[in-house]
A and B are shown apart, each in its own frame.
Chain A
Amino acid sequence: MSFLELSGVAKNYGPVAALAGVDLQVESGSRTAIVGPSGCGKTTLLRLIAGFEAPDRGRIALDGKVLANGGAAVPAHRRGIGVVAQDGALFPHLSIADNIGFGIARNADRRAEHIVELAYIVGLDKAILKRRPHELSGGQQQRVALARAMAMKPRLMLLDEPFSALDTGLRASMRKAVAELLEEAGITTILVTHDQAEALSFASQVAVMRDGLFSQVGTPRELYFQPRDRMVAEFLGDAIIVPARIAEGFAVSRLGRIAVDTKERRDVARIMLRPEQVVLKRTSREGMSGTPDMLFGEVTDCEFAGSICTVAVRLLNSPDPPDAAAIGNTPLILRRTGMDAPAVGEIVRLTVTGKAHVFA
């Protein structure tokens, strides 16, 4: 029995199915990320869990207690679930202290001390408490929103793209800080985001969502290296996908003979590699001769972007391409560190590390 359980949760807006029957289990104290392109229904799912809306069908249970079941739903204010919205949704008419203390009863013991404590936990200076939301930076506003949600000691915290309004540098550090904070407080967390890197680095369980359904749910590593289909693979990062023939734990394709993560035997299959699995080594045309097993390519384009560079490589000796005619000789797009960016026209030797993933 998981801490949070969704089964067959569906929600329509008029004729549009925002959610078409979603199942999800979230373990107590874990971090889950729901990731998907905009309009895939992830925010709707979050709103259903929070109780801002009721599902049309399906069941939501938290810690064994049913929150929603086919239209009947416990209202948001009786759920005790914390929510941090995209832009914080701070109350503009209240000071920071009153924002943080909003959920604490006004005559509660040690209310003021509690507020200061919460501010400290999320890393806010005490001096800030007298200010108004609009006087704070985006990152500070998010911290206030987090402190405000933590004030009611929620069992579950929902984060609705809370970092997307922040600039890149701040985003990563906020993400790490929030993850550690919630971990320490032992609060189960669900993060909704459209940023796949954020999802992979934040969560212990990632759910990729598309058109109101989960395409795949699993650990970040599983999803990244063993995606179920092309959409998941490409959503989570760049992917090299080629047709191959599979036998005895190896795939034979235009990239040569590569170890795969399956034992079965198939004549027609597609394998996926992450670009970082392909290692480039400088060589020359002379170095190509007399080494038939090795794979060589020519650099056709190189885009320098500081720490990394994007390299396009056209294969020169592709052994045994199964349906070369269909694929043609499209260049492989790879990434290297910017330090040793190759020049256009250079000859490189390609080797594959790790196993390729075979799509079902």
Chain B
Amino acid sequence: MLPRQFAFRGSVLFGDRLVDDDRLRIEPFPRPIRSLPPRGVGDMVARLMQSAIDMAPARLPAAGMKKRRPTSWITLVAALISLVALLPLAFIVWVAIQTGWDTVVALIFRPRVGELLVNTVLLVIVAVPIATLLSVALAWLTERSDLPGNRLWSWLSVAPLAIPAFVHSYAWISIMPGLHGLWAGVLVSVIAYFPFLYLPIAAALRRLDPALEDAAAALGLGPWRVFARVVLPQLRLAICGGSLLVGLHLLSEYGLYVFIRFDTFTTAIVDQFQSTFNGPAANMLAAVLVACCLFLLALEVIVRGEERYARVGSGAARKQQRARLGRATLPCLLLPAGVALLSLGVPFVTVSRWLLAGGADVWRWDEIGLALGQTLLLAIAGAVLATIAAMPMAWISIRAPGRLQRLLESCNYIVGALPGVVIALALVTITVRVALPLYQTLFTILFGYALMFLPRALVSLRASIAQAPVELERAASSLGRAPVKALWSTTIRLSAPGAAAGMAMVALGITNELTATQMLAPNGTRTLAMAFWSYSGEIDYASAAPYALIMVAMSLPMTWWLYVQSKRMAGR
């Protein structure tokens, strides 16, 4: 089950550094050099186009920001948090050393690992290109053609995000119980994750300057060649960012592949963990998985390149024209309709069918209430913790940007890109070996959530801190407030909306998280996702249905918000 349905939306969607002035790729208006760029929460999808880590030195030094007193201790706290965030990575290295070279080689170079590697690699290299093609086609139809109802289709192309991936898989397996293997994995993965590609591609298409296409046409290029030589290259960043996001999800997904009996590293690690606890075999599988993630991150950085895709020149771009589909309208409608049917219709029909079949009996309110209460408690506590942990980092990234800050930030993002199962495994091992009293406590699970979801909180916070001008802090200081009080009464108060948005995204991630929760939660914990998983594990699909419905209902508002943000960002 996709423990982390929204997990990487944090690290990449929101997740990347906040928009370097000269590297922001898709930029509607020229921005002043000196002042801080306006960084709305709406920049999110733009950031999706960048990637999780970005170490390139490119930021202009923010003018007029000398190191002031609070900086030093805030930097210290931020550095400390980043170091703690590196724990899972350190754990992998430490375990490898502890296990000894020979054992490591024996555990990694064996047929089982090769098999898993082939499965995982095939899954990624088949599913990601299909999802990309599908997303480009859908984005073009909804953004650049006169397809009837294009707003509706656009929303329906984002809406599958509200359904946790394991619920997608559950829906398909109920309809086609025999579904299994690579192609089943590809089918469900594409359906569950293509919106991560659709969102940035659609946003990029919307923001393309039509003058470029006009210029190419005036230079003698027909429509298809204009698309290939001008439009497609401009979508490169969106495609790179989205592909990375989908790829990382495929690596970390668990529930989806268990349903359709397709083995990946993540499912194998969980199996291994269940049979031998935190033995070296599981840990070494985790090491290979981490290597795969790092490989994807690096690949994305290389493919993305250093090119600039911002609009050159000044002034607002004129409005784009939509292509006339004419007689092709009907066949073109089949694509979004078909996708909506597969990605929304199938889960909807299945869940409704199970709910109808189960009748009132499946609504065991005491049990559901308990699960809901526990889920909310974990989600809210985790969100608060992640946001508090993100605050120092967010503050220095705006007020005192520099080399150190970039380094610290990328630590957070790399860890945010790791599968939940790896983080959970690390925390289990560390607590068991070093601090047993902390094993399976509320503290540990919240700590795990904070590691996993910190990037999400970070990006929202940073965006709103950027909108609180430093002058206000200075004015408060000059009116006699001590530095911390000045900070509290200006910047922190003003960044409250961003903090709230970040908390909501973190809370949503925790609500739909499964793997780490199962491994880390105190005994007796039963969240919505866990209840869903255990019922469907007993093939009691009807009893699982209410939980699926509640999770979807809780995810829908955030998905809608994402959709609206991505529209607003393009100025519509």
Q: Which residues of A contact B (CB under 8 A)?
A: 47, 50-53, 75-83, 85-94, 102-103, 132-134, 138, 141, 145, 148-149, 151-152, 165
Output the residue of A80, A87, A148 with the most chain B CB within 10 A: A87
Which of chain A's residues has its CB closest to B214's CB? A52
Q: Does B206 contact A (CB under 8 A)?
A: no
Contact A76 B218 (CB under 8 A): yes
Contact A83 B218 (CB under 8 A): yes
How distant is B78 from chain A, measured CB to nearest CB, in Å? Answer: 32
Interface positions of B from 503 to 546, Cβ below 8 Å from A: none
Which of chain A's residues has its CB closest to B215's CB? A89
Contact B311 A92 (CB under 8 A): yes
How distant is A102 from chain B, measured CB to nearest CB, in Å? Answer: 5
Complex Cα distance, B315 from A152, in Å, reads 27
Contact B221 A87 (CB under 8 A): no
Complex Cα distance, B215 from A148, in Å, reads 9
Stretch in B111-119, B275-283, B302-310, B399-407 with 4+ CB within 8 Å of A: B302-310
Chain A to chain B: the 5 pairs with minimum beta-carbon distance, closest first:
A87-B313, A103-B219, A76-B217, A89-B211, A83-B218
Interface positions of B from 180 to 237, Cβ below 8 Å from A: 209, 211-212, 214-223, 226, 229-230, 233-234, 236
Contact B313 A86 (CB under 8 A): yes
Give the residues in chain B near A149, CB-CB below 8 Å: 218-219
Contact A85 B214 (CB under 8 A): yes
Q: Does B312 contact A (CB under 8 A)?
A: yes
Contact A165 B217 (CB under 8 A): no
Q: Does B321 contact A (CB under 8 A)?
A: yes
Contact A165 B219 (CB under 8 A): no
Further contacts, 11 of them, CB under 8 A, given A51-B218, A89-B212, A92-B308 = A52-B218, A75-B217, A77-B219, A79-B218, A83-B215, A86-B315, A93-B308, A103-B220, A132-B307, A138-B313, A148-B219
Give the residues in chain A near B312, CB-CB below 8 Å: 87-88, 90, 92, 133-134, 141
Contact A87 B314 (CB under 8 A): yes
Which of chain A's residues has its CB closest to B237's CB? A93
Evaluate whether A82 and B218 lie within 8 angstroms (CB atoms) in the complex, with A53-B321, A134-B312 already known. yes
Which of chain A's residues has its CB closest to B229's CB? A102
Complex Cα distance, B271 from A231, in Å, reads 83
State the majority secondary structure of interface residues on A. loop
Evaluate whether A165 and B215 lie within 8 angstroms (CB atoms) in the complex, with A53-B321, A91-B230, A103-B220 already known. no
Give the residues in chain B near A165, CB-CB below 8 Å: 313-315
Give the residues in chain A near B233, CB-CB below 8 Å: 91, 93-94
CB contact between B219 and one of A52, A53, A88, A152 (< 8 Å): that residue: A152
Which of chain B's residues has its CB closest to A132's CB? B308
How distant is B131 from chain A, measured CB to nearest CB, in Å? Answer: 23
Evaluate whether A87 and B315 lie within 8 angstroms (CB atoms) in the complex, with A93-B234, A134-B310 already known. yes
Give the residues in chain B near A103, CB-CB below 8 Å: 219-221
Give the residues in chain A near B234, CB-CB below 8 Å: 92-93
Complex Cα distance, B220 from A80, in Å, reads 7
Which of chain A's residues has its CB closest to B232's CB? A93
Which of chain A's residues has its CB closest to B222's CB? A77
Evaluate whether A85 and B211 lie within 8 angstroms (CB atoms) in the complex, with A93-B233, A103-B220, A134-B308 already known. yes
Give the residues in chain B near A145, CB-CB below 8 Å: 215
Which of chain B's residues has its CB closest to A158's CB? B218
Give the residues in chain A near B222, CB-CB below 8 Å: 75, 77
Contact B218 A81 (CB under 8 A): yes
Evaluate whether A52 and B230 lie within 8 angstroms (CB atoms) in the complex, with A88-B312, A133-B312 already known. no
Contact A77 B214 (CB under 8 A): no
Complex Cα distance, B220 from A51, in Å, reads 11
Which of chain A's residues has its CB closest to B313's CB? A87
Complex Cα distance, B313 from A75, in Å, reads 26
Give the residues in chain B near A47, CB-CB below 8 Å: 214
Complex Cα distance, B215 from A80, in Å, reads 12
Give the residues in chain A near B314, CB-CB below 8 Å: 87, 138, 165
How distant is B201 from chain A, measured CB to nearest CB, in Å? Answer: 16
Contact A91 B214 (CB under 8 A): no
Evaluate whether A91 and B212 lie within 8 angstroms (CB atoms) in the complex, with A86-B313, A134-B310, A141-B313 already known. yes
Give the residues in chain B near A75, CB-CB below 8 Å: 217, 222-223
Which of chain A's residues has its CB closest to B221's CB? A77
How distant is B480 from chain A, measured CB to nearest CB, in Å? Answer: 45
Evaluate whether A77 and B220 lie within 8 angstroms (CB atoms) in the complex, with A87-B313, A90-B312, A141-B313 already known. yes
Which of chain B's residues has its CB closest to A135's CB? B308
Give the residues in chain B near A87, CB-CB below 8 Å: 211, 312-315
Evaluate whether A88 and B313 lie within 8 angstroms (CB atoms) in the complex, with A103-B219, A149-B219 already known. yes
Evaluate whether A85 and B215 lie within 8 angstroms (CB atoms) in the complex, with A93-B234, A103-B220 already known. yes
Give the residues in chain A near B307, CB-CB below 8 Å: 92-93, 132
Which of chain A's residues has its CB closest to B305's CB? A93
Give the residues in chain B near A132, CB-CB below 8 Å: 307-308
Complex Cα distance, B313 from A247, in Å, reads 56
Give the residues in chain B near A80, CB-CB below 8 Å: 220
Give the residues in chain A near B220, CB-CB below 8 Å: 77-78, 80, 103, 152
Give the residues in chain B near A102, CB-CB below 8 Å: 216, 219, 229
Which of chain A's residues has its CB closest to B25's CB? A92
Complex Cα distance, B233 from A93, in Å, reads 7
Contact B214 A83 (CB under 8 A): yes
Complex Cα distance, B221 from A273, in Å, reads 50
Give the residues in chain B near A83, CB-CB below 8 Å: 214-215, 218
21 A-B residue pairs with Cβ-Cβ distance under 8 Å, sorted by A, are A50-B214, A50-B218, A52-B214, A75-B217, A77-B216, A77-B221, A81-B218, A85-B211, A87-B312, A87-B315, A89-B212, A89-B214, A91-B215, A92-B311, A92-B312, A93-B234, A93-B309, A103-B220, A141-B312, A141-B313, A148-B215
Output the residue of A50, A93, A152 with the most chain B CB within 10 A: A93
Which of chain A's residues has its CB closest to B226's CB? A77
How distant is B309 from chain A, measured CB to nearest CB, in Å? Answer: 5
Give the residues in chain B near A81, CB-CB below 8 Å: 218
CB contact between B309 and one of A76, A89, A92 (< 8 Å): that residue: A92
Contact A89 B230 (CB under 8 A): no
Complex Cα distance, B219 from A79, in Å, reads 9
Complex Cα distance, B310 from A91, in Å, reads 10
How distant is A60 from chain B, measured CB to nearest CB, in Å? Answer: 15
Complex Cα distance, B313 from A88, in Å, reads 7
How distant is A55 from chain B, measured CB to nearest CB, in Å? Answer: 15
How distant is A150 from chain B, measured CB to nearest CB, in Å? Answer: 11
Complex Cα distance, B58 from A134, in Å, reads 14
Which of chain B's residues has its CB closest to A104's CB? B219
Give the residues in chain A near B221, CB-CB below 8 Å: 77, 103
Which of chain B's residues has its CB closest to A133's CB? B312
Which of chain A's residues has its CB closest to B217's CB? A76
Give the residues in chain B near A152, CB-CB below 8 Å: 219-220
Complex Cα distance, B237 from A93, in Å, reads 11
How distant is B219 from chain A, measured CB to nearest CB, in Å? Answer: 3
Complex Cα distance, B219 from A152, in Å, reads 7
Output the residue of A80, A90, A92 with the most chain B CB within 10 A: A92
How distant is A133 from chain B, measured CB to nearest CB, in Å? Answer: 4
Complex Cα distance, B233 from A47, in Å, reads 25
Give the residues in chain A near B311, CB-CB below 8 Å: 92
How distant is B207 from chain A, measured CB to nearest CB, in Å? Answer: 12
How distant is B567 from chain A, measured CB to nearest CB, in Å? Answer: 22
Which of chain B's residues has its CB closest to A93's CB? B233
Complex Cα distance, B221 from A47, in Å, reads 16
Give the residues in chain B near A141, CB-CB below 8 Å: 312-313
Complex Cα distance, B367 from A62, in Å, reads 78
Contact A89 B308 (CB under 8 A): no
Complex Cα distance, B226 from A51, in Å, reads 15
Interface positions of B from 543 to 567, Cβ below 8 Å from A: none
Output the residue of A85, A132, A149 with the most chain B CB within 10 A: A85
How distant is B326 from chain A, measured CB to nearest CB, in Å? Answer: 14
Contact A92 B214 (CB under 8 A): no
Give the residues in chain B near A86, CB-CB below 8 Å: 211, 313, 315
Give the residues in chain B near A88, CB-CB below 8 Å: 312-313
Evaluate whether A77 and B218 lie within 8 angstroms (CB atoms) in the complex, with A132-B308, A134-B308 already known. yes
Complex Cα distance, B233 from A52, in Å, reads 21
